[in-house]
């Protein structure tokens, strides 16, 4: 069984997934960040594949992506860093990024490398679902890699149900039409949107992302989903004072 499916089968609520950009703050921090996140008790980790034009990301993640690229991060290097991944953690690991670097790398080669290094899932916001189903679903299945779909406040109900029917992992519920970044709390329209998702009785587990920045927003989002994804707030914490392990453990303690 894929580790993502196992996670949702064994832990029903308050899942915490943390995102960071590969190659940030330093080029070779990838495995150390994963090791410390695992020790801190997070349930899943998303590794961002830096890209020169991350249109869905807010300024914090954009800056981390720019710095990672300047540091020399690439898909080739990321996969060179990951062979020891499963020696340090057994929690689900997801890669998140944009389709152009994957196309340049080669889709099947990319999936094979994911399988070899122990990656469990992929989130590619700009890969159309229909194109995925028609051209790549069988490849993903052959390498046991789950493709995660995104739902936003603008997604029609019929489309949400379609994504739910075709999902094998979890749905990434984007909390806002804006780019990534923290907020103090969710407004009424966002809460109504979360409730609407609840009312649809979807079969697929849901994680809410975008705007989760502290314990308050974590707890609030968990009321309407299986858990959350935190990115920008965590990346900000990596710029604070202290050693890398200190910063990571301190951040996770502030969330739960």
Q: Are 30 and 71 within 8 A, CB to CB?
A: no
Classify residue 106 as left (phi > 0), alpha (psi -120 to 50) or beta. left
* Choice among 46, 120, 164, 226 that is catalytic: 46
Rg (CA), the chain: 17
* Choice among 36, 57, 120, 164 that is catalytic: 57
* Catalytic residue flag (residue 66): no
What's the CA gap between 44 and 64, in Å, rounded? 20
What's the CA gap between 226 and 10, in Å, rounded? 12
Report DSSP state, residue 133. Answer: I
* Catalytic residue flag (residue 126): no
Nearest partner of 113 among 124, 102, 127, 123, judged by Cα: 102
Tokens of 171: 């749905």
Q: Are 14 and 225 within 8 A, CB to CB?
A: no
Residues with catalytic roles: 46, 57
């Amino acid at each position: 069984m894929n580790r993502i499916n196992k996670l949702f089968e064994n832990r029903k609520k308050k899942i915490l997934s943390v995102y960071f950009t590969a190659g940030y703050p330093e080029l070779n921090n990838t495995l150390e960040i994963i090791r410390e996140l695992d020790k801190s008790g997070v349930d899943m980790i998303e590794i961002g594949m830096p890209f020169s034009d991350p249109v869905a990301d807010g300024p914090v993640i954009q800056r981390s992506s720019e710095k990672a690229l300047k540091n020399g991060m690439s898909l080739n290097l990321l996969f060179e860093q990951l062979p020891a991944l499963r020696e340090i953690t057994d929690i689900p690991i997801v890669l998140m990024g944009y389709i152009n670097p994957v196309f340049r790398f080669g889709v099947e080669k990319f999936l094979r490398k994911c399988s070899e290094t122990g990656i469990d899932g992929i989130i590619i916001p700009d890969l159309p679902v229909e194109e995925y189903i028609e051209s790549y679903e069988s490849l993903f299945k052959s390498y046991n890699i789950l493709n995660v779909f995104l739902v936003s406040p603008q997604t029609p109900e019929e489309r949400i149900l379609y994504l739910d029917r075709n999902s094998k992992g979890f749905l990434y519920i984007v909390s806002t039409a804006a780019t990534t970044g923290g907020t103090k709390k969710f407004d009424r329209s966002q809460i109504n949107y979360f409730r609407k998702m609840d009312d649809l009785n979807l079969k697929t587990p849901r994680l809410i992302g975008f705007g989760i920045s502290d314990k308050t927003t974590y707890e609030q989002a968990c009321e309407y989903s299986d858990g959350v994804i935190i990115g920008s707030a965590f990346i900000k914490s990596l710029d604070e004072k202290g050693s890398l392990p200190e910063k990571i453990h301190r951040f996770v303690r502030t969330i739960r």
